[in-house]
């Protein structure tokens, strides 16, 4: 006898429990995002710390957030010695952007702040922030004209460990740079030869600092920069201390 087409499909208790957990996590994530969006849009709530918790990583987009410790360290280096006429660009590193906003929001009135902070990012979820500018490395200089030669401090994290991605993003950085910017490039160890070549004119070198990701990565990452600080020195003979 053929089974009835109207027979209901039932799930095992384990499958049902897993499904309920999935929907619970999804709803919690949506709630977090809506709260963050409200904070970003409400100037009265500006003192509330922002968090990356609302933004889930999408590995298909090569999204891997940095740990709070690494993000804050990078943000502090971008702000170190800042002048009020300077512009800071955060390129494809939203976790550092969040840390940067938190530091600026918590700073007192006497602390120097940059003229402007911008986030160049492909992920439209970050458009909840007024500093967001859509950026696709495949079109490296398809950006607002006022950014050309108008940025003083830059951090970038090319989303893919490929020569094409790294080269195109380097074109963006050089196009935006006002003279020699304070520059941080955070990317894979295997890109070292290419990165130091691409940014040689801006003075970038491999440093001793090794960034940490929230969920960890199998690929080893390096921090490249054109300055030394308390957090790192240049690798090799010049940076030996």
Label the pairing between strands 151-156 and 205-206: unpaired
Q: Count CB atoms within 10 A of the CB of residue 85.
A: 9
Q: In which band, very low, low, confident or very high, does the pLDDT at 7 lie, cut at 50, 70 and 90?
A: low
In the prediction, which pLDDT does 157 show? 97
In the prediction, which pLDDT does 29 show? 46
- Region 7-20 average pLDDT: 58
Q: Which residues pair with residue 155 across a beta bridge? A: 90, 184
Tell whether the model's pLDDT for residue 148 goes beyond 60. Answer: yes
Q: Which residues pair with residue 224 across a beta bridge? A: 185, 206
Q: In which band, very low, low, confident or very high, does the pLDDT at 64 lie, cut at 50, 70 and 90?
A: confident
For the segment 185-196, what is each residue's pLDDT rounded down to a tens digit?
999 999 999 999
* Domain layout of the chain by residue ranges: 66-225
Give the 3-state DSSP-derived string for the chain, with helices as H, strands as E and coil as C. CCCCCCCCCCCCHHHHHHHHHHHHHHHHHHHHHHHHHHHHHCHHHCCCCCCHHHCCCCHHHCCCCECHHHHHHHHHHHHCCCCCCCEEEEECCHHHHHHHHHHHHHCCCCCCCCCEEEEEECCHHHHHCCCEEECCCCCCCCCCHHHCCCEEEEEECCCCCCHHHHHHHHHHHHHHEEEEEEEEEEEEHHHHHHHHHHCHHHCCEEECCCCCECCCCCCCEEEEECCCECCECECCCCCCC
For the segment 109-134, what is each residue's pLDDT rounded down to a tens digit?
999 999 999 999 999 999 999 999 99
CATH topology (fold) of 66-225: Rossmann fold (3.40.50)
In the prediction, which pLDDT does 241 show? 41
């Amino acid at each position: 006898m053929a089974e009835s087409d109207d027979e209901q499909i039932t799930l095992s208790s384990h499958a049902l429990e897993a499904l309920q957990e999935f929907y619970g996590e999804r709803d919690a994530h949506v709630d977090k995002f809506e709260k963050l969006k409200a904070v970003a849009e409400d100037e009265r709530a500006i003192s509330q710390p922002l968090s990356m918790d609302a933004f889930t990583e999408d590995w298909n987009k090569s999204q891997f957030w940095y740990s709070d410790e690494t993000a804050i360290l990078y943000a502090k280096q971008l702000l170190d010695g800042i002048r009020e006429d300077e512009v800071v660009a955060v390129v494809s590193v939203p976790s550092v952007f969040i840390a940067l906003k938190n530091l600026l929001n918590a700073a007192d009135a006497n602390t120097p702040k940059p003229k402007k902070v911008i986030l160049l990012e492909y992920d439209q979820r970050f458009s909840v922030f007024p500093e967001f500018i859509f950026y696709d490395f495949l079109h490296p200089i398809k950006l607002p004209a006022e950014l050309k030669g108008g940025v003083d401090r830059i951090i970038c994290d090319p989303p893919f460990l490929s020569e094409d991605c790294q080269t195109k993003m380097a074109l963006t950085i050089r196009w935006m740079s006002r003279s020699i910017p304070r520059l941080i490039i955070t990317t894979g160890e295997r890109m070292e030869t290419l990165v130091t070549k691409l940014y040689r004119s801006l003075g970038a070198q491999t440093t001793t600092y090794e960034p940490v990701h929230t969920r960890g990565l199998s690929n080893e990452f390096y921090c490249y920069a054109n300055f030394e600080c308390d957090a790192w020195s240049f690798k090799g003979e010049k940076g030996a201390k």
